[in-house]
Structure 1
Amino acid sequence: MISTLGLLWSTVGGSLAGYVFTRIVGRQQSSLTSSVNTIEILVAAHNEEKVIGYTLRSLQAAVERFVATHGKGVGLKITVGLDHCTDATLRVVEDFARTTRVPVATIENPGKAGKWNVLNLLARQSKADWVAFVDSGSLWEPELLVEAFASMSDGSVIGVAPSYSTSTGGRLEQLNWGLEQSLKRLENHSGGPVSVHGASVLYRREPLLLALAELNGTLWLNDDVVLPLTLRLQNPDKRIVYMIHASKPAFVGDCGVRSELAVEYRRRRRMVVGNLQWIQNKFLTSHRRNFGVTLIASRRVARMLWAYWALGLGASAVFALLEILNRAGFTSVERAVCAAVLGLGTMVLFAASNWIRRLAMAFLSGLQVPRLWRSLSKEEGGVSWV
């Protein structure tokens, strides 16, 4: 029962509760227009020689489509933040810069390594009205900037979060991304999501800098949650708009390069620790500032415990199956054979499906939540940025 409720809240429950609360209580909303004169696309890079070229070319296509649609009245620039790269990332960026008309710059992170530090450096050096944080390996649809511009020109909007979908997942993963898009679209009616797809997100720079100032002093690991959550709490009359593509799976995809299992596990563990960070430091007191935002964020909290919800449901299903087999007259040997076949099938899926392997890494990381909660300060320093 608890596992079922946990899974329901981690999917539709939190978003629906936030929507109902907003409908009952209402929310402040400004309706000012705002001119957009400059947009800077900021790409964080740490040893990304294999994928950053794909990302830059997709950004170039989006910029060219925007210029063809809106003319040259808006200044556009790409800046790559190099985080202690030891491979050929810089050379790839320089080669790209020589072949494009889009202004391209690079900036080295002189301080401590880490994505959060690079994002801070990139945002603070920018003079643009809007900035886009883009992960290396992300691919933009050419029409992304064109579609986002209307929201960016709305003075009540402080962030635009394009939809995201992977190219390497199977049908189940695509269904998961589709569900996530539907829930975030529902959250649009409550002022927008408090967690976004970190692969690409656009922010109005002035409120972003205020959010970064509040978050200063901590090496945050999940910028895709802590930034929109802080922005929503600081700006109750402003919105973050989640943007869904009308005819394609998403506005942002990936280049299809698969991570090794060890890298995937570290990435998932970093996400768990990052979630625990904002829960401890933001979520537990967020209800004092905006209860509607707290309800939406609670979906992410419940989702962080999904491994335990799934474990509970899985154990219940196994016990139910064994009881059915027992009542059907199966002997203990026959029941053991059925269990062995089930286990073998799981192993085959693990070996054959990249998505199942990544799901397994997420599951194993999720099981560590209680331990990481108790030792967050020690674990934080040991989690890789990769």
Structure 2
Amino acid sequence: MAFTLLALGVLGLLGSTTLFPLLAPILHWRLSRVLPNPDSKRNQRENGARKLTIAIPTCGEVEALERTLQSISYAIAYAHKHLTVHEISIELLVGIDGSAPKALLRAHQFQARVLSSDKRAGKWRMLERMTRHIEGRSSAFSSSWVIFADVGVEWPKDFLLSVLSDMKDPHVVGIAPAYTIRDSSLIQRSVWSIERSLKTLENFSGGPVSVHGATVGYRIDALIRVFDFCVGKEYANDDVVLPLLIRTLNPSKVIQYRGDVAVIDTESTEVGSDERRRTRMLIGNTKWVQDLYPFVLRTNPLVALIALRRVFRILWAYWIGSVFLGGGITLVALSWSVFIELSGVERLAVTIASGGAVCTLAIVLALVCEQLISAAKVSLLGPWYWGKSNSSIGKIWK
């Protein structure tokens, strides 16, 4: 039993991390040898980016919106100093979901165009509305891009200059920068450092199929195709569903992950708690796996293989638990033969010392790793949420 638990846990952890990013380039290479590129001739004639819209969806946060608008305005001004007006036009669009007069005022103060609605429809609907609005204003949307930026995110001043070169590549349909959190803990920095390495590895097989929604750019025509495909549906995890379907529906195109360019999340807590956010992510993940993964598997096996890492990550707490439980059983079995040779006093001393060590470790983990414990609790609920109907989850923002 101990070996089975260890094997299951190790396999799960590998599936959550390096296994599929390492296998995907092999499949990518094999497919590139046997399948023609139907877009090769068209790509040679296709223009690079000519118009960029920076779209900020919000449900009414004011202070976080102002920070983001200020940061992006600096980045736009910096880009204008180094670009000619004929290279690319850049505009700012704020989408306000629900009645939020103060947010509307802030957007106008930064000369941003505004899309607003009286009733809250959810982030997915706002993203779709903003995308179709941009499409309607563009005469050649195949050369138009949108960068979605969450409220609370801040850009380095040279961010736009760093990613514009990728937008000019006709084979690129998406750009995802690295993600950092201001004043993050050691655990958070470690997690995102690992994630950065894994997404960089996924570049060798056409790019990631899940990104961080704090900032991500897409070609408008590819985005329209996804929203047309999802007509009548809505998803909470746009940071997974959009890149997943963009790569699935555009097999010869890539999403470029830029691990060398990072945006900063100021981690605003104006909307929702951390546990609520994690629960929303969990429910959203189970929904897209059930709704979309069979289609992805039939249509684009490479993307389906890369997406398996995300599927395995849903149950990451079970994999770690299996490793610890299997390792603990093995350790107890190996130690028992030594323990029974001890005298009564020695056994009592070892038992007290071991119990004290376990209690101390539990207290330290509870105090230092509160976020990790909260995340593990949500992961353990994964099987319970699987198959449940959550039709309103797409209306939740965070």
Query: TM-score, structure 2 length as denominator?
Result: 0.86
Q: CA deviation at 1:317?
A: 4.3
Q: Which residue matches 1:20?
A: 26
**Secondary structure, aligned partner of 2:196:** helix
- For residues 283 and 374 of structure 1, the distance between their equivalents in structure 2, rounded to whole angstroms, comes to 14
Say whether residues 1:202 and 2:217 are aligned partners: yes
Q: Which residue matches 2:82?
A: 69
Q: Which of 295, 300, 312 is residue 285 of structure 1 equivalent to?
A: 295
Q: Is the 1:162–1:252 contact (alpha carbons within 8 Å) kept by the matching residues of 2?
A: yes
Q: Which amino acid aligns with 2:28?
A: T
Q: Which residue matches 2:95?
A: 81
Q: Is the 1:45–1:81 contact (alpha carbons within 8 Å) kept by the matching residues of 2?
A: yes
Within a 5 Å distance, the mapping from 1:286-301 to structure 2 comes to 286-301=296-311
Q: Is the 2:235–2:394 contact (alpha carbons within 8 Å) kept by the matching residues of 1?
A: no
Q: Which has the higher mean CA deviation after the structures are superposed, 178-187 or 188-197? A: 178-187
Relative distance call for 1:217 and 1:6 in structure 2 (3 A) is same
Say whether residues 1:228 and 2:238 are aligned partners: no
Relative distance call for 1:305 and 1:286 in structure 2 (3 A) is same
Relative distance call for 1:268 and 1:383 in structure 2 (3 A) is farther
- For residues 69 and 257 of structure 1, the distance between their equivalents in structure 2, rounded to whole angstroms, comes to 32
CA RMSD of aligned residues (A): 2.3
Q: Which residue matches 1:116?
A: 124
Q: CA deviation at 1:206?
A: 1.2
Q: Which residue matches 2:160?
A: 145
Q: Which residue matches 1:352?
A: none
Q: Is the 2:99–2:117 contact (alpha carbons within 8 Å) kept by the matching residues of 1?
A: no
Within a 5 Å distance, the mapping from 1:210-289 to structure 2 comes to 210-245=225-260, 250-257=261-268, 263-289=273-299
Q: Which residue matches 2:190?
A: 175
Structure showing greater Rg: 2
Q: Is the 1:109–1:121 contact (alpha carbons within 8 Å) kept by the matching residues of 2?
A: no
Q: Which amino acid aligns with 1:307?
A: A
Q: Which residue matches 2:352?
A: 333
Relative distance call for 1:13 and 1:259 in structure 2 (3 A) is farther
Q: Which of 203, 211, 219 is residue 188 of structure 1 equivalent to?
A: 203
Relative distance call for 1:321 and 1:55 in structure 2 (3 A) is farther
Number of positions where the alignment pairs a residue of Structure 1 with one of Structure 2: 368
Q: CA deviation at 1:85?
A: 4.5
Q: Which has the higher mean CA deviation after the structures are superposed, 45-54 or 108-117? A: 108-117
Q: Is the 1:12–1:183 contact (alpha carbons within 8 Å) kept by the matching residues of 2?
A: yes
- For residues 71 and 184 of structure 1, the distance between their equivalents in structure 2, rounded to whole angstroms, comes to 33
- For residues 133 and 159 of structure 1, the distance between their equivalents in structure 2, rounded to whole angstroms, comes to 11
Q: Which residue matches 2:4?
A: none
Q: Which residue matches 2:54?
A: 41
Relative distance call for 1:85 and 1:308 in structure 2 (3 A) is farther
Q: Is the 1:286–1:294 contact (alpha carbons within 8 Å) kept by the matching residues of 2?
A: yes
Q: What is the CA deviation profile of residues 125-177 of structure 1, one whole-angstrom value per residue up to 9, with x for unaligned ones?
A: 11351111111111111122111111111111111111111123223322321
Q: CA deviation at 1:267?
A: 0.7
Q: Which has the higher mean CA deviation after the structures are superposed, 53-62 or 308-317? A: 308-317
Q: CA deviation at 1:36?
A: 2.2
Q: Which amino acid aligns with 1:16?
A: L
Q: CA deviation at 1:19?
A: 1.2
- For residues 333 and 357 of structure 2, the distance between their equivalents in structure 1, rounded to whole angstroms, comes to 13
Q: Which amino acid aligns with 1:180?
A: E
> Which consecutive residues of structure 2, in runs of 5 or more, have no partner in the other structure?
1-6, 139-143
- For residues 382 and 116 of structure 1, the distance between their equivalents in structure 2, rounded to whole angstroms, comes to 6
Within a 5 Å distance, the mapping from 1:299-314 to structure 2 comes to 299-314=309-324
Say whether residues 1:9 and 2:19 are aligned partners: no
Q: Is the 2:99–2:119 contact (alpha carbons within 8 Å) kept by the matching residues of 1?
A: no
Q: Which of 79, 92, 96 is residue 106 of structure 2 equivalent to?
A: 92
Q: What is the CA deviation profile of residues 324-369 of structure 1, one whole-angstrom value per residue up to 9, with x for unaligned ones?
A: 77545543333322222122222221xxxxxx33322221211111
- For residues 283 and 268 of structure 1, the distance between their equivalents in structure 2, rounded to whole angstroms, comes to 21
- For residues 365 and 87 of structure 1, the distance between their equivalents in structure 2, rounded to whole angstroms, comes to 35
Q: CA deviation at 1:381?
A: 4.4
Q: CA deviation at 1:23?
A: 2.0
Q: Which has the higher mean CA deviation after the structures are superposed, 105-114 or 34-43? A: 105-114
**Secondary structure, aligned partner of 2:62:** coil
**Secondary structure, aligned partner of 1:88:** helix
- For residues 377 and 51 of structure 1, the distance between their equivalents in structure 2, rounded to whole angstroms, comes to 29
Query: TM-score, structure 1 length as denominator?
Result: 0.88
Q: CA deviation at 1:268?
A: 0.6
Q: CA deviation at 1:94?
A: 3.2
Q: Which residue matches 2:170?
A: 155
**Secondary structure, aligned partner of 1:94:** helix
Q: Is the 1:322–1:335 contact (alpha carbons within 8 Å) kept by the matching residues of 2?
A: no
Relative distance call for 1:133 and 1:253 in structure 2 (3 A) is same
- For residues 222 and 275 of structure 1, the distance between their equivalents in structure 2, rounded to whole angstroms, comes to 7
Q: Is the 2:315–2:379 contact (alpha carbons within 8 Å) kept by the matching residues of 1?
A: yes
**Secondary structure, aligned partner of 1:192:** coil
